[in-house]
Amino acid sequence: MSETSYETLLLERDPKGVLEIRLNRPEKHNAFNATVIEELKRAFEEASEEEGVRVVLLTGSGKSFSAGADIDWMRDQGRESEAANVQSALRMSEMFYAVYACKKPVLAKVGGAALGGGTGLVAAVDIAIASQDAIFGFTEVRLGIIPAVISPFAVEKLGPATARSLFLLGKRFNGIEAERLGLVFRSVPAAELDAEVENCLADLLRGSPKALEEAKALAQSLNPIPPLREIPRCAEAIAKIRGTPEAQEGLSAFLERRRPSWFPENK
């Protein structure tokens, strides 16, 4: 694995076999664009097969874990041809699946914003440790789109009823609520986040590498809705809606710092 061949990620492996994958677009709150999507997919696929990697730690540079999809990029994808739009969505779906399907245990350290696709990343990992003041939310409906490509992972982690409620409400919630909902394994005061993550890494490294892989594979095999099966349908769902007038209005309104036309205050 080449740890210097990424534009939007920083990779560092310690002698114990912990590979840190750090999203590194702090000026954009680590939002996804096409480059991030391709690089994150590649990094997790390589980590999955790398013999010297025992645990993967996913985190973000700067103030945010990840603000989800880059809104400029998302709006542009909706303006592409139908075929290009679907292919773009499919690549994003495959990126989330690469995180979920990594053979090694994946731990996320979450501080700051983890919104939309950022919340989806948290749902896709095995264990997430968050600061209590971290901010989560499936905010897509307020932009005129839907949490399509992340939905299999969110439904698996949260359960269908809770996921449905959060998808519809679009509200933000903090790390304490994320722990109560089961999205994160544990939330701690921000000052204790690093120490809590180190404790979790130490616990993971006490497990044998092969047993960890097999335990993860067993748990995932019992999932009644395998995300892999849902990838094409979910990719088509986001591709379809982000090209609609409502989605273009919602994404433009966000970029222009105004309320979209459907907000009651504008009626």
By the 8 A CB rule, do 26 and 63 touch?
Answer: yes
Q: Where would I find the beta strands (DSSP E) of 67-197? A: 106-110, 113-115, 127-131, 135-137, 172-174, 186-188
Q: Nearest to residue 116, comparing CAs of 74, 68, 72?
A: 68
Assigned CATH for 9-191+211-255: 3.90.226.10
pLDDT tens-digit readout, 117-134: 999 999 999 999 999 999
pLDDT at 82: 84
| Cβ atoms 94, 145 nearer than 8 A | no
Predicted local distance difference test score (pLDDT) of residue 90: 93
pLDDT number for residue 3: 55
pLDDT value of position 223: 81
- The H helix count followed by the E strand count for the chain is 11, 9
Q: What is the mean pLDDT of the chain?
A: 94
Q: What is the rounded distance in angstroms from the CA atom of residue 57 to the CA atom of residue 143?
A: 30
Assess contact for 71 and 251: CB atoms under 8 A.
yes
pLDDT digits (tens, 9 = 90+) for 205-261: 999 999 999 999 999 999 877 777 888 999 999 999 998 999 999 999 999 999 999
Closest of 93, 115, 117, 102 to residue 227, by C-alpha:
93
- The pLDDT assigned to 4 comes to 57
pLDDT of residue 267: 46
For the chain, which ranges sit under pLDDT 50? 266-267
Q: Where are the domains of the chain?
A: 9-191+211-255
